[in-house]
Chain A
Amino acid sequence: MAPMDERSSSVTSSPLQLFSMMSPSPSLGSPYPWLRELKSEERGLCLIHLLLTCANHVASGSLENVNIALEQISQLASADGDTMQRIAAYFTEALADRILKTWSGLHKALNSTRISFPSEDILVRKLFFELFPFLKMAYVITNHTIIEAMEGERMVHIIDLNSAEPAQWIALLQALSARPEGPPHLRITGIHPQKEVLEQMAHRLTEEAEKLDIPFQFNPIVSKLENLDFEKLRVKTGEALAISSVLQLHSFLAYDDEFLRKKSSLASKNSNGVHLQRVLQLNQTTLGELLENDVVNRYSLSPDSASSSPPSFTGSPKMDGFLNALWGLTPKLMVITEQDSNHNGSTLMERLLESLYFYAALFDCLESTLPRTSIERLKVEKMLFGEEIKNIIACEGVERKERHEKLEKWIQRLDSAGFQSMPLSYYCMVQAKRLLQGYGCDGYRIKEEHGCAVICCQDRPLFSVSAWRNRK
């Protein structure tokens, strides 16, 4: 094909040509037939433009434009087309959902007959585990860090904040049984809203532990994480505690918005008062320049409520509360896996742009793993990614649970909650890199950042794994 610049010019020229050939009055049925003529790359670029346009209109509230844009996109996007088409399909569905929410009656009516199939949810999560290396890597790193931290311990208690995948703990059991000093007495407390999942876990794990002759106990806790009763965890003194959190913490940030609103309204009320005080001080003072400078600084630092993302630790009561409770358990180790991308911006456009890149990477991974006709792929795209995208784009406030943030923010947050970062060990990273290399699919990398592991696809950071313990 022609080199880059030529290609771009051909893109600009051909639609123009097609455009000029277009019939004057488009019928309602297919207003833009020439759109179908586009080749996949042009179509992809077109889709991106349309998507951004549409999002812009959604953000600014111009509904007819939204409608037009959606109409145009619908000509090009498709849930079983190429990667860009699929992404566009899910993003536009999310945008449409967002708009629809403004007519809450309509929205409720359209969603009233939706049935959720828990077995499908479980299947989809399992597919995510199998088709991508992310969870596997997270588990390997978590297990390895646990084993390192628990060297010499005889009573180990692990709390799994979302206990759905037995493979993680089965691997840990095997590794523990191979310890030179012998396996410890192991207790795993699994938390999950669905009883059946926990029953399955219990069965698999106890079976494995019996085979390996490891004293083992599984305590299921059927509960949503936000309603977790810490008493039920029954953490005992004298046992070494490890907490494993895989993609669970970010949903606690969903409660921030209310708090922020109150806080910002308070701030705006007070700001005038504060400034008035300062002005008075300035008039009265005899200190002169120093104070003046100080006041100037204070003026310039007036609270800006339109910050790009919610302030990390000061404004997250639910999250802080949860982290404090975890801290109060005095774990020897806490391993946290989270998405490493900012999908928690306060404006729609920010979130859209970031999530576009993030999910583009994930969709690309799927494209190189499964064929387009694969049902499993469709399921993962629709039921997992599609739902996440919908949540990020269409929901606000408490409803928006997928509040992914960058690793730096998590580090800040955990730091101020009283945790100290434990850099992942050299061997751990070596093994993780090895595993990823052997995975076979190109483009996956794992790198180290601030002592944490970041798993990237094509240089786009996607997930991060970090280890923490209580600061002494």
Chain B
Amino acid sequence: MVELDISSPMTVSTASREASVTSSGNQTAPQPVAPTKKKRNLPGTPDPDAEVIALSPKTLMATNRFVCEICNKGFQRDQNLQLHRRGHNLPWKLRQRTSKEVRKRVYVCPEPTCVHHDPTRALGDLTGIKKHFCRKHGEKKWKCERCSKKYAVQSDWKAHLKTCGTREYKCDCGTLFSRRDSFITHRAFCDALAQESARAQVLPSTNTEENPEIETAVSSSPTALTPSTTVLSIQSPGADMTENPVGVLQQAPATISLTTGTVTSSSSSSSTSVFASIFAPSTTPVTSQPSQSSSTFSDLICAMGRSERSTTLPSSSTAEPTLRLSSSLYLSNSASSLFPTPDQNHRHYAPSPQPAMSATALLQKAAQMGAAASNASLLRGLGLAMSPSSSAQKDSSTTQWSGHVKADSNPVGAGLGLGLPSEGGPALTGLMMGPSSLFVNKPTTLDLLGLGMVPGGASTAGLSALLTSISGGGLDIAAAGSPLGGAAAATAEAAPDRKHNGPALL
């Protein structure tokens, strides 16, 4: 009646199902209350000495294979049929599990294109292979009313019905999502979130009043995920008020990202669970490792960071505050075990109002000034750059200073035999800059170029302009695609002049 290729699976009854899950070496009877976790093979990597069973599609798809001859009632399991037959006063026989050791059985998918068709990738569970076959190679007969998602396996469909529409997520921008993962993905790119986080991260002060603000800021940014907001609310009153709320705040984005990580790991889509392991110290459900092993990337980073200060390289048993998801403190721990160990240092040492401008800002400012005429006067005023001899403000100190230096440098120049023409030339110009004559001729090189400096995008163009003003155009800058095309042309003329000056150190 039933087509079987090898042995009948009938012997694999419900009672033995648990045993079939265990590897063949492990035959401990399951304790009633808290069974010790049986060692599960990783999915799709079966025991090498297990018996491989190949069932036909019909067998796999069949629902009620055991039919009562009297009333034609169908049963999925033989045991149930036998019990039913008792009711008809028919002879019945319950088959016992075979007393000898049950050989572990693994099942392959009959569909040749399937990965699990290969015996090395067989699945260990009969129900599993049946569901797999239906899901992947079967027709989707069950449909959810609300979201019209279709399922081939009835149990999948039922499971979906429980959660469909029960939770809705709303992003700040107003978009509604029924699925957590699409909501989360959307949030990453939502502008509203970007603004919120930008604002939220800027709040630095140690004001206690900030706390509720922080909370609302975080919760209004679309962390509609209940766990995170609840835990946040647990945290804030509990959090030490003297503690820098920046700490709370810093943890907040980490919090969100953490819960994301855990959530995505629980939703068993392959790509997201992969991230979870890289990105957040989540529960990797497959590995049965204790939480104290330095589990992930970020843990390693911070573990390394911490132990770098103390010992050499961290051993795996450093009981760092890695993720104990079960405990309610997990967020505070995990936030610290995520990425930012250097961040903690940063918080300690961060010079709050920095008296010194950052170097990048200084460069941009210099670039701006390079476009402005005031720059030339600055340099002249500083007396450091080449003040052309014809310049009106010839401070006496300039002459003296340069004269003094000139006296020094002459022997140097002569001694090195460089024979720079500047020695013989006019006092200042020759000394200060080689092709200085050009500076006199073209004091407004910048105006010729018509540079319009934009602070944000100034970058090289601005500094080049500054440079041009310093050197008076005697410079070969060939910056690609910059508005200094004019400068390049101008400097091309200067190039032959420069060749007279000593060894070209280009």
Chain A residues in the interface with B (C-beta under 8 A): 8-9, 11-12, 15-16, 19-20, 22, 24-26, 31, 40-41, 44-46, 48-50, 52-53, 56-65, 67-69, 72, 82-84, 87, 98-99, 102, 126, 130-131, 133, 136, 139-140, 143-144, 147-148, 151-152, 167, 170-171, 174-175, 177-183, 200, 204, 207-208, 211-213, 306-309, 345-350, 353-354, 356-357, 360-361, 363-364, 367-371, 374, 426-427, 430-431, 433-435, 437-442, 458-460
Mark out the residues of chain B between 345 and 386 whose CB falls within 8 Å of any chain A CB in the assembled complex: 345-347, 349-351, 354-360, 362-363, 365-366, 369, 372, 374, 377-379, 381-385
**Which chain B residues border A56 with CB–CB below 8 Å?**
433, 467, 470-471, 475
Q: Are B278 and A171 in contact (CB under 8 A)?
A: yes
Q: Are B277 and A178 in contact (CB under 8 A)?
A: yes
**Which chain A residues border B297 with CB–CB below 8 Å?**
136, 139-140, 167, 170-171, 174
Q: Are B365 and A45 in contact (CB under 8 A)?
A: yes
What are 22 of the A-B contact pairs (CB < 8 Å)? A45-B366, A52-B463, A59-B476, A60-B435, A63-B502, A68-B405, A98-B505, A99-B505, A170-B300, A175-B277, A175-B278, A177-B42, A211-B293, A307-B478, A308-B478, A308-B480, A350-B460, A367-B359, A368-B351, A426-B185, A431-B279, A439-B340
Q: Are A180 and B503 in contact (CB under 8 A)?
A: no
**What string of 1s and 0s marks CB contacts (under 8 Å) between B395-437 and chain A?**
1110011001100010011001010101000000001111100
Q: Are B502 and A434 in contact (CB under 8 A)?
A: no
**Which chain B residues border A98 with CB–CB below 8 Å?**
505
Chain A binder among B67-75, B102-110, B266-274: B266-274
Q: Are A440 and B340 in contact (CB under 8 A)?
A: yes
Minimal beta-carbon separation of B13 from chain A (angstroms): 28
Q: A102-B503, A181-B43 are in contact. Are A63 and B272 (CB under 8 A)?
A: no
Q: A140-B279, A430-B185 are in contact. Are A354 and B460 (CB under 8 A)?
A: yes
Provide the bound-state CA to CA distance between A442 and B342, in Å: 13
Which listed residue, B44, B253, B502, touches A61 by the CB 8 Å rule?
B502
Q: B345, B358, B413, B479: which has the most chain A beta carbons within 10 Å? A: B358
Smallest Cβ-Cβ distance to B372: which chain A residue: A8
Q: Are A357 and B363 in contact (CB under 8 A)?
A: yes
Q: Are A65 and B431 in contact (CB under 8 A)?
A: yes
**Which chain A residues border B416 with CB–CB below 8 Å?**
63
Which listed residue, A41, A212, A306, touches B287 by the CB 8 Å rule?
A212
Q: Are A130 and B301 in contact (CB under 8 A)?
A: yes
Q: Are A364 and B478 in contact (CB under 8 A)?
A: no
Q: A52-B463, A62-B433, A427-B275 are in contact. Are A181 and B250 (CB under 8 A)?
A: no
Provide the bound-state CA to CA distance between A143 and B250, in Å: 26
Which listed residue, A16, A44, A58, A433, touches B505 by the CB 8 Å rule?
A58
Q: A178, A347, A361, A438: which has the most chain B beta carbons within 10 Å? A: A438
**Which chain B residues border A131 with CB–CB below 8 Å?**
342
Mark out the residues of chain B between 31 and 63 whose CB falls within 8 Å of any chain A CB in the assembled complex: 42-45
**Which chain B residues border A200 with CB–CB below 8 Å?**
313
**Which chain A residues border B501 with CB–CB below 8 Å?**
60-62
Provide the bound-state CA to CA distance between A163 and B48, in Å: 35
Minimal beta-carbon separation of B356 from chain A (angstroms): 4
Smallest Cβ-Cβ distance to A72: which chain B residue: B384
Which listed residue, A19, A59, A84, touches B475 by the CB 8 Å rule?
A59
Chain B residues in the interface with A (C-beta under 8 A): 42-45, 115, 121, 185, 188-189, 197, 201-202, 250, 253-254, 257, 260, 268, 270-279, 284, 286-287, 289, 293, 295-297, 300-301, 304-305, 308, 313, 316, 338-343, 345-347, 349-351, 354-360, 362-363, 365-366, 369, 372, 374, 377-379, 381-385, 395-397, 400-401, 404-405, 409, 412-413, 416, 418, 420, 422, 431-435, 456, 459-460, 463-464, 466-467, 470-471, 474-480, 498, 501-506
Smallest Cβ-Cβ distance to A348: which chain B residue: B506
Q: A40-B357, A58-B505 are in contact. Are A19 and B400 (CB under 8 A)?
A: no
**Dominant SS at the B interface?**
helix
Q: Are B274 and A369 in contact (CB under 8 A)?
A: no
A-B contacts besides A61-B505, A308-B480, 8 pairs, CB < 8 Å = A41-B357, A44-B356, A52-B466, A60-B471, A68-B409, A181-B43, A347-B478, A435-B279
Provide the bound-state CA to CA distance between A468 and B498, in Å: 45
**Which chain B residues border A427 with CB–CB below 8 Å?**
185, 271-272, 275
Provide the bound-state CA to CA distance between A370 and B349, in Å: 6
**Which chain B residues border A350 with CB–CB below 8 Å?**
460, 477-479
**Which chain A residues border B374 with CB–CB below 8 Å?**
8-9, 12
Q: Are A26 and B382 in contact (CB under 8 A)?
A: no
Q: Are B359 and A363 in contact (CB under 8 A)?
A: yes
Provide the bound-state CA to CA distance between A135 and B267, in Å: 29
A-B interface pairs (CB < 8 A), number = 333
Q: A24-B400, A182-B42, A182-B44 are in contact. Are A44 and B357 (CB under 8 A)?
A: yes
Smallest Cβ-Cβ distance to B369: which chain A residue: A8
Provide the bound-state CA to CA distance between A15 and B377, in Å: 10
Minimal beta-carbon separation of B361 from chain A (angstroms): 8
**Which chain B residues border A99 with CB–CB below 8 Å?**
505
Q: A15-B382, A144-B274 are in contact. Are A61 and B360 (CB under 8 A)?
A: no
Q: Are B338 and A167 in contact (CB under 8 A)?
A: no
Which listed residue, B308, B378, B435, B477, touches A15 by the CB 8 Å rule?
B378
Q: Are A353 and B404 in contact (CB under 8 A)?
A: no
Provide the bound-state CA to CA distance between A63 and B355, in Å: 36
Q: Are A64 and B274 in contact (CB under 8 A)?
A: no
Q: Are A178 and B505 in contact (CB under 8 A)?
A: no
Which listed residue, A49, A179, A367, touches B379 by the CB 8 Å rule?
A49
Q: Are B346 and A347 in contact (CB under 8 A)?
A: no
Provide the bound-state CA to CA distance between A58 and B505, in Å: 7
Minimal beta-carbon separation of A148 from chain B (angstroms): 7
Q: A99-B505, A136-B339, A434-B188 are in contact. Are A353 and B279 (CB under 8 A)?
A: no
Q: Are B413 and A63 in contact (CB under 8 A)?
A: yes
Minimal beta-carbon separation of B177 from chain A (angstroms): 15
Provide the bound-state CA to CA distance between A357 and B463, in Å: 10
Which listed residue, B272, B308, B480, touches A309 by the CB 8 Å rule?
B480
Q: A72, A99, A204: which has the most chain B beta carbons within 10 Å? A: A204
Q: Are B316 and A62 in contact (CB under 8 A)?
A: no
Q: Are B503 and A24 in contact (CB under 8 A)?
A: no
Q: Are B460 and A63 in contact (CB under 8 A)?
A: no
Q: Are B339 and A24 in contact (CB under 8 A)?
A: no
